[in-house]
Amino acid sequence: MVQVKKKRINADLVINRAWCKGCGVCIAFCPKEALFMDNYGKAEKDLERCTACGICETFCPDFAISLVKRRISKNAGDKTGSNAGK
């Protein structure tokens, strides 16, 4: 059996629900089919499918989607990232 190595994603896809008008452009362009409309007609992401490629951000006419880079610590013991203080 072949094991598939999952890529580490160094960004988070953030959807600003207040700006989303539910046009569906992001859903149409998503190559992984990771976006869908929720019960309120707003775009939502499937965490398992989203690779944070940024294509939806590029095509969103309302600028409701943004790709936010994660901070990566160079020192594994350094607690400066998103888990600092935990």
pLDDT attached to residue 44: 97
16-59 pLDDT, tens per residue? 999 999 999 999 999 999 999 999 999 999 999 999 999 999 99
- CATH of region 17-69, choose from 3.30.70.20, 3.30.70.1400, 3.90.1580.10, 1.10.150.120: 3.30.70.20
Q: Where are the domains of the chain?
A: 17-69
The identity of residue 78, as a single letter, is D
The reported pTM is: 0.69
Q: Averaged over 58-67, what is the pLDDT?
A: 96
Q: Report the phi/psi class of residue 67: left, alpha or beta, with left for phi > 0 and alpha for psi in -120 to 50.
A: beta
Poorest-confidence range of 31-35, 63-67, 77-81?
Answer: 77-81
pLDDT attached to residue 71: 78
